[in-house]
Amino acid sequence: MGLEQIYDREAAHRPIGVFDSGVGGLTVFREIMRQMPGERIVYFGDTARVPYGSKSRDTILRFSRQIVRFLLGQGVKAIVVACNTASANALPVLEEECPVPIIGVIVPGAKTAAEVSRNGRIGVIGTTATITSGVYSEVIRQLRPDAQVLGRACPLFCPLVEEGLWEDPVTDEIARRYISELTGRGIDTLILGCTHYPLISKAIGRIAGEGVTLVNPAYETARELHILLREKKLENPDIPVLGSTEERYSFYVSDMADKFRGFANSIIPYGVLSAKAVTLEDQ
């Protein structure tokens, strides 16, 4: 079945779809909730297959397509790829195929960094697949040709976050190894180029030091989504009929629903009562 056939009408009342390989995208979900309290959101975390960052482009694209199909099946009116790895490796293809507006997290984060950096030396930390794609550096250099973009893959961060070691000496030690390499080269701005990283931003900030501005693309992504919904006349006009948080927000994962729910409760500022496990199939 083609993607167009899954999509339906009555768009403005429909939810926004948000996805990530795991819990990291909840940092974007939280920001969308905060900036657009009148919207319903369906979140999907691919907890059975996290991490994406060590996988090939083809695999990341295949997983992302399956999730987009699932979200379209939930009747979403727009999709946020709340995963840098999927944004870097799959977004251009998804944009062509997807019948609803779809945005990623890279352009919003790159724009902010290009604006806030004083000396033009911008560090980017992310998964191996994000850093090797070179997408951040490409987008930043288009916006600010004088910029020097220094990337560093941090493959151990994602498992540390998924294991809940947000405030732990091990995380600080690993952050030191990754980040001192960038601070030693004079960066004044550091993009948290993986949606998992805002959850360990305290450790990252401690190591990067006060002179380095951390950029969390979640804020700008939610802002761009808001502008896009307004432009496409897709903002929900019926805020008062939205109902309880349980009715507004739903969470799906591909495995370990209870563990995910526990995480969601430490990230989302209301009690998340349920997360459903579903199986995604190739179609």
* Nearest distance from C-beta of residue 109 to ligand DGL, angstroms: 10
Near ligand DGL by CB under 6 A: residue from 117, 130, 213, 236: 130
Q: CB nearer to ligand DGL: give 11 or 63.
A: 63
HSE-CB of 118 using CA atoms within 13 angstroms: 5
Q: CB nearer to ligand DGL: give 53 or 75.
A: 53
* Identified catalytic residue from 98, 154, 158, 194: 194
Under rule CB under 6 A, which residues in 224-243 are in contact with ligand DGL? none
Task: Determine, following the binding rule CB under 6 A, whether residue 158 of this chain makes contact with ligand DGL.
Answer: yes
Determine the 3-state secondary structure of 267 from DSSP.
Answer: helix
Decide if 158 is catalytic: no
The stretch near ligand DGL (CB under 6 A) out of 8-16, 126-134, 182-190, 226-234 is 126-134
Near ligand DGL by CB under 6 A: residue from 47, 64, 66, 84: 84
| Alpha carbon distance 38, 239 (integer Å) | 5
Q: What is the CA radius of gyration of the chain?
A: 18
Under rule CB under 6 A, which residues in 25-54 are in contact with ligand DGL? 50-53
Under rule CB under 6 A, which residues in 176-215 are in contact with ligand DGL? 194-196
Q: CB nearer to ligand DGL: give 59 or 183.
A: 59
Task: Determine, following the binding rule CB under 6 A, whether residue 19 of this chain makes contact with ligand DGL.
Answer: no
Peptide bond preceding 237: is omega within 30 degrees of 0, i.e. cis?
no
Near ligand DGL by CB under 6 A: residue from 21, 64, 112, 254: 21
What 185-188 contacts at long range (C-beta under 8 Å, 24+ apart), as own/partner pairs, is 185/121, 185/123, 185/150, 186/119, 186/121, 187/121, 187/122, 187/123, 187/150, 187/212, 188/117, 188/118, 188/119, 188/121, 188/122, 188/212, 188/213
CA distances from 153 to 130, 150, 174, 249 (A): 8, 10, 12, 32
Q: CB nearer to ligand DGL: give 91 or 122.
A: 91
C-alpha closest to that of 76 among 270, 249, 217: 249
Decide if 98 is catalytic: no
Near ligand DGL by CB under 6 A: residue from 112, 117, 127, 236: 127
Q: CB nearer to ligand DGL: give 128 or 250.
A: 128
Q: CB nearer to ligand DGL: give 60 or 234.
A: 60
* Nearest distance from C-beta of residue 210 to ligand DGL, angstroms: 25
Alpha helices in 74-168 (DSSP H): 84-97, 106-116, 128-133, 135-143, 157-162
Amino acid at position 153, single letter? A
What DSSP assignment string belongs to 186-198?
T-SEEEE-STTGG
Count of residues near ligand DGL by CB under 6 A: 18
DSSP class of residue 122 equals: E
Binding site for ligand DGL (CB under 6 A): 20-22, 24, 50-53, 83-85, 126-127, 130, 158, 194-196
Question: Which residues are the active-site residues?
Answer: 83, 194
